[in-house]
Amino acid sequence: MLIADTSGLLASIDRNDRHHETVRSVLLAEREAVIVPELVLAELDYLVLKHLGREAEEALLDDVIEGAYAREPCLDEDLLRARELIRAYREHDIGLVDATILATAERLGAPRILTLDHRHFRTLKLKNRKPVTIVPADWRRR
């Protein structure tokens, strides 16, 4: 499983993004489910509408409805863990979406995260104190 962050998905949609081709290659090569936490979907929808327009937003929603991504709800346990992470990483201002991505990754046992946000995700550690695998950065090193 690959847990998707907003930055990675936005790059996959925005053809003008300098990471577009790399992220698209990762998504096309992915053999397992691409999990989109619902808070990520809400943030992504806002950014797509704001920066790419209504047609891009509708295309995103079509992809989600057609099953291009597996949506993952935010559970109470994810919010509790997110609160722990926000407190533990207070000086990094990780925010709710990034914290719930890590909580979801822990809950699902899926430490691979599609993100361009190295600043936060290189800092965050899973409950077992191991780092997450950042895709595409770590994917290219395989």
Is 16 part of a structural domain of the chain? yes
Strand pairing class (112-114; 133-135): parallel
Q: Which CATH number characterizes residue 104's domain?
A: 3.40.50.1010
Domain count, the chain: 1
Q: Higher model confidence: residue 141 or residue 123?
A: 123
Is 141 part of a structural domain of the chain? no
For 35-92, the pLDDT digits (tens) are 999 999 999 999 999 999 999 999 999 999 999 999 999 999 999 999 999 999 998 9
Cis, bond preceding 136 (omega within 30 deg of 0): yes
Residue 119 CB burial class (10 angstroms; 0-12, 13-18, ≥19) = exposed
Q: What is the pTM of this model?
A: 0.91
> How high is the pLDDT of residue 3?
97
* Distance between CA atoms of residues 114 and 135, nearest Å: 5
Is 142 part of a structural domain of the chain? no
Is 118 part of a structural domain of the chain? yes
Is 140 part of a structural domain of the chain? no
Domain assignment of residue 124, given as a range: 2-135
